A and B are shown apart, each in its own frame.
Chain A
Amino acid sequence: MEAVRKNRKKNLLIITILIAIVCILALVCLFTGSSDMSFSDGLNALFGEGKSAHIRIIRNIRIPRVLAAIIAGAGLSISGLIMQTDLENPMASPSTLGVSNAAVFGANLSIIAFAGGFLSTGSRTENYLTGVNPYSTSLIAFLFSTLSILLILGLCRLKSFSPGVVVLSGIAIGSVWTAATTLLQFYATDTGLSAAVIWNFGDLGRATYKTDIIMASVVGAGLILFIVLSWRFNALLSGDSSAKSIGVNVSGLRFISMLMASLITAVCVSFLGIIGFVGIICPHVSKKLLGKDHRVSIPASALLGSILLLIADTISRSMGNGSAIPVGAITSMLGAPFFLAVIFFRKGDRG
């Protein structure tokens, strides 16, 4: 009992430290960027003093962006964790149900076929200030990813969500979306094609307060749901039959949690584009360092996801020389070596 309490205290301490790191990084991220604002200018701007351009940059660009990094990082990471548990597959990712492929298709359709609003935003700063409506593209991306999720979950219901079937259906349907995207791009104009390709690069700069609120409500709902179900996920780790024998509705749990994880991913991808690898790296790092108990791994993965995305975004904006380079590329470049180090050099392998 004493040891149990000690262990719990240790976990609480780790979570607290991770929260502190997120807060510090958020501040660092807030005061870094391509504009020549000094730290004290930034701090003043945060409280509404100083040059109006600075206030605008901090309030309208950087705060929504930092919030987006925290929310999307957490969301993508817990989605990956839950998909990995549900599918008993360490390679499962937030997009296993073809979410990203479908979102890309939807966005491409909107941009190429309907010349969607996104064409004029790109990653140029002035567009954030003129407030072009990027929602049409995001909405269509979201509709298609939801369609893909429902299609796959509907199909897999027939096989009571057996993990192998879900993974294979995800691959099959995902590749249909990719093929359809290729066809669209083949017939696209040069401008349409480049706008579509730019959309695919994940970009936190697209975030606004409105998109942050929408993402936060979905990610928040998911986080609460997953935390409530954490003992059931733990039960799932000991195999389907054991979980059933302790009263867990295994196929119901898989359905509801895969739906939630995929919706989180769909929202994040639709608003921000593809930010790869967060959903694989962060849950694995969390599991390697702190074990697989979902009472710990859900909050820890969420925080690690926020941390990775905050670091990646800070780097992306300080390297970009005027325009931010795609954050998705940085998450992978940054995360992968760390990930490999954790896999290969951690003592006592836990598979």
Chain B
Amino acid sequence: MLRITDLTFRYTRKSPVVLDNISLSLKDGEIGVLLGKNGSGKTTLFKTVLGFEKPEAGQIDFNGKDLLKMNRRERAEQIAYVPQDIQFGDLTVFDTVLLGRLPYFGLKASKEDEEIALKTLKEMGLEELAMRNTAELSGGERQKVAIARALAQEPKLLVFDEPTGNLDIANEQLILKEILRGTKEKGIGVLTSLHDLNEALSIGDVFFFIKDGKIRYYGDSSIVTELVIKDTFDADVSIIEYKGKKLIVNGGL
């Protein structure tokens, strides 16, 4: 579905390379997790996929089409985004989710758009909150509304920057479950970044370890090893097996 080849990016001509010959690919319905230190280039990679930044070199192929040549609305019908800092504009939850239909309706929401927004709200269990103002929501609810808006876009790919950044553990689990449920059934691919390696292991299908703008390692969960983590994060961890699953524990202390 998504195939990035030799992508290179820098903010200005004189500044250092932020993305250095990045290549990666993601299949339909797959969850790809970018792992790397702060400033390693994860967010910049998201921005180029979303078309916010133009790369210096490289191609992005999306289902056989050149993503870099798509216009804004075409791209918005394919790719949805949930940013790290979610901000809402004091609209009702319903209108906020309806905003996700903007690439389709442009000027005025049609009946169909409203129905899709409502259906998405129902699927996410947000129906009760539909007429509430987004300013009155809790952190977990805000995250859910942001996901609902992205899903209302009916994208093929969901880009999700740090989905669990500011959430407590219960909401963290809830959001991860929602992402899985909302995307797996519909075959929507997910490109995300997560700080918590165990969370990453629990939801990811493919992993991309990124350091200094380069992808150092990629593959399924079998590539997640102590050595790879040491090399990417400069952190000492131990990987143990617990109930048949890999568990990463902080081994540096």
* B103 in contact (CB, < 8 A): yes
Pair B79/A245 contact, Cβ less than 8 Å = yes
Distance of A247 Cα from B71 Cα, bound (Å): 8
Q: Give Cα A287–Cα B89 distance, bound, in whole angstroms.
A: 11
Min CB gap A247→B, angstroms:
3
Are the C-beta atoms of B130 and A234 separated by less than 8 Å? Answer: no
A1-9, A130-138, A149-157, A213-221: which one contacts chain B?
A1-9
Q: Are A350 and B153 in touch, CB under 8 angstroms? A: no
User: Is residue B133 contacting chain A, with contact meaning CB distance below 8 A?
Assistant: yes
A4 and B72 alpha carbons, distance in the complex (Å)? 29
Query: What is the CB-to-nearest-CB distance from B157 to chain A, in angstroms, rounded to a whole number?
Result: 11
Interface 1/0s, chain A 238-265, versus B by CB < 8 A?
Answer: 1101101111110000000000000000
Known: A1-B114, A231-B99, A291-B133. A242 touches B72 (CB 8 A): no
Q: Does A293 contact B (CB under 8 A)?
A: yes
A232 and B118 alpha carbons, distance in the complex (Å): 20
**Given contacts A246-B76, A247-B72, A238 and B89 within 8 Å (CB-CB):** yes
Distance A247 CA – B85 CA, assembled complex (angstroms): 19
**Are B89's CB and A234's CB within 8 A?**
yes
Q: What are the residues of chain B within 8 A of A242 when measuring CB–CB?
A: 81, 83, 86-87
Contacts of B50 in A (CB 8 A): 241, 244-245
**Interface hits, B104-151 → A, CB 8 Å:** 105-109, 114, 118, 130-131, 133, 135-136
Q: A351 near B: Cβ within 8 Å?
A: yes
Return chain A residues, CB-CB under 8 Å to B106.
Answer: 231
A237 part of interface (Cβ distance < 8 Å) = yes
Chain B stretch 65-84: residues in CB contact (< 8 A) with chain A: 72-73, 75-77, 79-81, 83
Of the candidates B85, B91, B94, the one whose C-beta lies within 8 Å of that of A234 is: B91
Q: Which residue from chain B places its CB closest to the CB of A292 in the assembled complex?
A: B90
- Least Cβ–Cβ distance between A298 and chain B, in angstroms: 14
A247 to B72, CA, bound (A): 5
**B176 at interface (Cβ–Cβ under 8 A)?**
no
Quick check: is A172 within 8 A (CB to CB) of the other chain?
A: no
State whether B91 touches A241 (Cβ < 8 A): no
Could you tell me if A239 and B102 are in contact, using CB atoms closer than 8 angstroms?
A: no
Q: Which B residue sits closest to A245, measured CB to CB?
A: B81
User: A249 with B89: in contact, given A4-B94, A4-B130, A351-B135 (CB under 8 Å)?
Assistant: no
Bound form: Cα–Cα A232–B101 in Å: 11
User: Complex formed: what's the CA distance from A292 to B96 in Å?
Assistant: 12
CB distance from A244 to the nearest CB of B (A): 6
Docked Cα-Cα span, A245 to B84, in Å, equals: 13
Whether B52 lies near A244 (C-beta < 8 A) is yes
Chain A, 282-296, CB within 8 A of any chain B CB: 287, 291-293
Check A63 for interface membership: any CB of B closer than 8 A.
no
Q: How far is the CA of A312 from the CA of B50 in the complex (A)?
A: 49
A238→B93 CA distance, assembly (Å): 12
A247 / chain B contacts, CB cutoff of 8 Å? 72-73, 75-77, 102-103
Name the residue on B nearest A6 (C-beta): B131
Task: Please give, as numbers and ranges, the residues of chain A lying within 8 Å of B136 by CB-CB distance.
Answer: 348
Q: B95 contacts the other chain (Cβ, under 8 Å)? A: yes
Verify if B88 is at the interface (C-beta below 8 Å from A).
yes
Q: A1-B118, A231-B107 are in contact. Are A7 and B92 (CB under 8 A)?
A: yes
Chain A, 266-310, CB within 8 A of any chain B CB:
287, 291-293
With beta carbons under 8 angstroms apart, the residue of A3, A237, A245, A248 that contacts B91 is: A237
Whether B100 is near chain A, meaning CB under 8 Å from some CB there, is: yes
CB distance from A86 to the nearest CB of B (A): 13
Q: How far is the CA of A241 from the CA of B87 in the complex (A)?
A: 10
Decide if A24 is an interface residue (CB 8 Å cutoff): no
Is residue A235 contacting chain B, with contact meaning CB distance below 8 A? yes
Report the separation of the CA atoms of residues A135 and B181 in the bound assembly, to the nearest whole angstrom. 66
Which A residues are in CB contact (< 8 Å) with B51? 244
A342 to chain B, nearest CB (A): 15
In the bound complex, CA of A234 to CA of B98 (Å): 11
Docked complex Cα distance between A244 and B83 (Å): 11
Interface status of A179 (Cβ within 8 A of chain B):
no
Which residues of B lie under 8 Å from residue A129 when comparing CB positions? Answer: none
Is the Cβ of A235 less than 8 Å from the Cβ of B130?
Answer: no
Question: Of residues A242, A244, A292, which shows the largest number of chain B Cβ atoms within 10 Å of its Cβ?
Answer: A242
Query: Which residues of the partner chain A approach B133 to less than 8 Å between Cβ atoms?
Result: 291, 350
How distant is B114 from chain A, measured CB to nearest CB, in Å?
7
A20 at interface by CB-CB < 8 Å:
no
Residues of A within 8 A of B108 (CB): 231
Q: A245-B80, A246-B80 are in contact. List 4 more A-B contacts (CB 8 A).
A: A237-B91, A247-B102, A249-B72, A292-B91
Q: Which residues of B contact A (CB under 8 A)?
A: 50-52, 72-73, 75-77, 79-81, 83, 85-92, 94-96, 99-100, 102-103, 105-109, 114, 118, 130-131, 133, 135-136, 153, 159
Q: List 5 A-B contacts (CB under 8 A).
A: A245-B83, A245-B159, A248-B72, A293-B91, A348-B136
